[in-house]
Amino acid sequence: ADEEDAETIEAPVTGVVSRRAALAAGPAAAAAAAGASGAGAVDEVATWVQYDLNTGETLYDIDFDPQDPNHGFVVGARGLFYETKDGGKRWVSRSFANLSKGQDISYRFQAVTVNGPEVWIVGKPALLLHSKDGGASWKKVPVSRKLPGDPRLMKALAPGKAEMATSSGAVYLTENDGKNWKSIVKETVDATLNRVSSSGVQGASYYTGTLKEIKRTDDGRYLAVAQRGNFYLTFMPGENRWVPHNRVSARRIQSMGFRTTSNGDPWEGVWMSLNGGYVTNCTDPKYAEFDSNSKDIFKNASIRTGGIGIIDAAFRTQDEGWAVGGSGVIYTTKDGGKSWGFDSAGNDLPCNLYNVKFFKGGQVGYMIGNNGILLRKTFEAEPNAAAAAVPAAAPAADRRHFTDSGGGARPPSLVAAAAGRAVARPRIRRTQATATASTLLAGIGGGSSSSSRSTAT
């Protein structure tokens, strides 16, 4: 990577309100948009509220700072980058000017992670962006061409410390802001599978593919799905390699996730969705054991999707969970995932919903998808919920700059600019308000390289 100086520029604020948000549904919507800045105005709506980000691009990930639940980011296609400092009620559009250094490259931001002042963004083509001051300034962390796979997932752990997983099953840890990386997994997924191809894992023999999805819990457990969906893999802290597992039926795996609750209640297991709109659950820790039989420990859930695939699911409590999928479908469960019912909040949404997450101890939920769709809903705090009560951070100066890792002179090409304060407002639809030494991983130290990745669905 070239060593260049960073340049700071002004980030203009225009205060523009999205016309689509205010005018899409006539006077009632305009009134709602006008009042959205009022304290608690949106929170009073007991349904999923659609926020208009004034973009038609796909949204891939959303994350909030556990230390400051009011500070969060949304990332998506074509370098789409939004920030909120009031808990998701208002979103400000940001952009990196000339991020590709004059090359005709359109980056897709696929993942974002926030922990205090630490913010990481993962993009494609291979890209790592790092901020140490809550997003006020950024560094581009060089990624080695020798890296197994592409960066797909990041987890900010502490100041200067983060964990990264790639599309080939490699997992790395940095403790110096991405200057050096240490391998946690001792071999890539394809090396593991080709070594154990006689183990009976269907589709694992001579495997040279990638992972289409990878997820991580806060305590460092990993869950991944093979690109073709014919088996899944697990990786637990302290282990050296991924462990492959058969799928539960002839149907390919659409998606998987952990059954961890957002309100802090302990709960074991995973969920799995299959092609055709089927959903299965496992509450037995044997799902991560090499010799376990998936067909015996996964139980089918009762759900009627009409064949529409379930792309993601998340549990707010041990009983309550939400699932999203194609055509904007939304399903909810009140019995721990045994049965799922259709939720009409997604009716007429012109999109696929790809992600559902809960924050602030399960008190606030988000659903995101293509066509710039972002849905938000607030919930009453559970009696035993570990809700975070953190005071809001003082607003940072509206100024952004972009730097490469390392010192030296550099042209003023990489700069982060605000693309105008495109304030997202709730919209009313129908009768409800919806509204890494010098090279990343060139400086990898310790252990053999291995990579793991999670492609956006």
Place of tokens 């009632």: 28
Residue 110 has pLDDT above 60, yes or no: yes
Q: Give alpha helix (H) positions in 75-144.
A: none
What band does 190 get if pLDDT is binned at 50, 70 and 90?
Answer: confident
If pLDDT is split at 50, 70 and 90, which confidence band does 346 have? confident
- 102-108: long-range contacts (C-beta < 8 A, 24 or more apart)? 102/413, 106/78, 106/79, 107/78, 107/79, 108/60, 108/76, 108/77, 108/78, 108/79, 108/456
The predicted pLDDT at position 209 comes to: 72
Percentage of residues in the chain with pLDDT exceeding 90? Answer: 58
Instruction: Calculate the CA dihedral of residues 282, 230, 333, 42 and round it to 10 degrees.
Output: 130
For residues 101-122, give the mean pLDDT.
90
In this predicted structure, which of 59-68, 213-222, 384-393 has the lowest mean pLDDT?
A: 384-393
Q: Which residues are within 8 A (CB) of 35 and not within 5 positions of it... i.e. 6 or more apart? A: 41
Whole-prediction pTM? 0.77
Q: Around Cβ 246, how many Cβ atoms within 10 Å? A: 18
What pLDDT digit, counting tens, does each position of 9-31 carry? 223 233 332 323 432 333 344 34
**Which comes out higher in pLDDT, residue 354 or 427?**
354
Three-class SS of residue 84? Answer: strand
CA nearest to 223, candidates 303, 148, 282, 309: 282
The whole-number pLDDT of residue 266 equals 82
* pLDDT of the residue at 347: 87
User: Mean pLDDT lowest for which of 52-56, 192-196, 199-203, 284-288?
Assistant: 199-203
Q: How confident is the model at residue 380 (pLDDT cuts 50, 70, 90)?
A: confident
pLDDT at 199: 54
d(CA 203, CA 152) in angstroms, rounded, equals 23
pLDDT band at 200 (very low <50, low <70, confident <90, very high): low
Position 203 scores a pLDDT of: 52
Q: Of 12-26, 90-104, 119-133, 287-301, where does the model show the most confidence? A: 119-133
C-alpha to C-alpha distance for 419 and 54, rounded to whole angstroms: 12
- The pLDDT tens digits of the residues spanning 264-300 come to 888 889 999 999 999 999 999 999 998 888 999 999 9
Quick one: pLDDT band at residue 394, thresholds 50, 70, 90? Answer: very low
Helix, coil or strand: residue 97: strand
Q: Can you give the three-state secondary structure of 221-244, one letter per residue?
A: CEEEEECCCCEEEEECCCCCCCEE
Mean pLDDT of the chain: 77
